[in-house]
Amino acid sequence: MANVVKKAVFNLMDKAFTERGYVLAIRAWKPGSMYEIDLHLPATDMSKWKTIPRIKCKVDDFDYRDYTPALWDVEKRTCTVFIETGHSGRGSSWAKNLRVGDTIGYASAHAAQLPGESGPVACFGDGSSLGHFLALKQLTDGEEHPMRVTLSLSEQYQLPENLLLKNPEFKFIMLPKTNSLEHLSEMAAHEEISVNNSVYVAGHIPMVTSLRKTLKKNLYLNARIFAHGFWS
């Protein structure tokens, strides 16, 4: 009986994924664990994105993963999702097996808030947070909310030159097989953290939880902390 109910619930969820998107291009960063996937989402009005958007993609039968669209073009209704596939999981497998021309099923998911107060914004995350912070940058005024982003990456990537040129406020730290929490905690400790009005932490859930606790213990930090965990 429980299996019947479970299947019925999943069938209802599946029917919610009525929107269809199309894979336009795929670029893998060498050594191949980070994928940039360009999507055309014809049914989505991106001009309505006023908070950091998320889309829930169907990655398998009755299995879904949330991703953050970035670098979107409102008129063309295109965007890019960045998916790091270094860990095993259905989302990683789905991303690796996508091909140009494929159709994806998706629906809108929860959105993340923008900073309320004007002032500097510090961001800390792992590779899974890249799209999140690119979206934050796209939705905010750089003069009103100057950003400093520190990303700890799990591979020695050959970073796209275009990404580096267009995002000088992003600092990429590549130390394979190291603890991103330890690394980001060190960076947060050395950062002049007290000057920031907002701090964003995003990525691996245990890392996000621990780093948020560390930041909240900082007596000199009066900034609002926005924490968003993506995977465990």
pTM strictly above 0.75: yes
Asked if the model's pLDDT at residue 136 lies above 90, the reply is yes
Pairing mode, strands 103-108 and 19-29? antiparallel
Full set of structural domains in the chain with CATH = 2-108 (2.40.30.10), 121-231 (3.40.50)
pLDDT tens for each residue of 86-114: 777 899 999 999 999 999 999 988 889 99
Q: Is the peptide bond before 160 cis (omega within 30 degrees of 0)?
A: no
Q: Where are the alpha helices (DSSP H) in the chain?
A: 2-15, 90-97, 130-139, 161-166, 180-190, 205-216
Query: Is the distance from CB of 125 to CB of 201 less than 8 angstroms?
Result: yes
CA distance 114 to 51: 6
Asked if the model's pLDDT at residue 1 lies above 60, the reply is no
Buried b vs exposed e over 51-79: b needs ≥16 C-beta within 10 Å? Answer: ebbbbbbbbeeeebbebbbbbbeeeebbb
pLDDT tens for each residue of 28-50: 999 888 999 999 999 999 999 99
Mean pLDDT calculated for residue range 210-215: 92
Angle value at C-alpha 56, between 50 and 58, nearest 5 degrees? 155
pLDDT for res 42: 97
Of 176, 174, 167, the C-alpha closest to 149 is 167
Does residue 219 or residue 96 have the better pLDDT? 96
210: how many CB neighbours lie within 10 A of its CB?
Answer: 16
The residue type of 100 is V
pLDDT tens for each residue of 156-208: 999 999 999 999 999 999 987 777 778 788 878 776 788 999 999 999 899 99
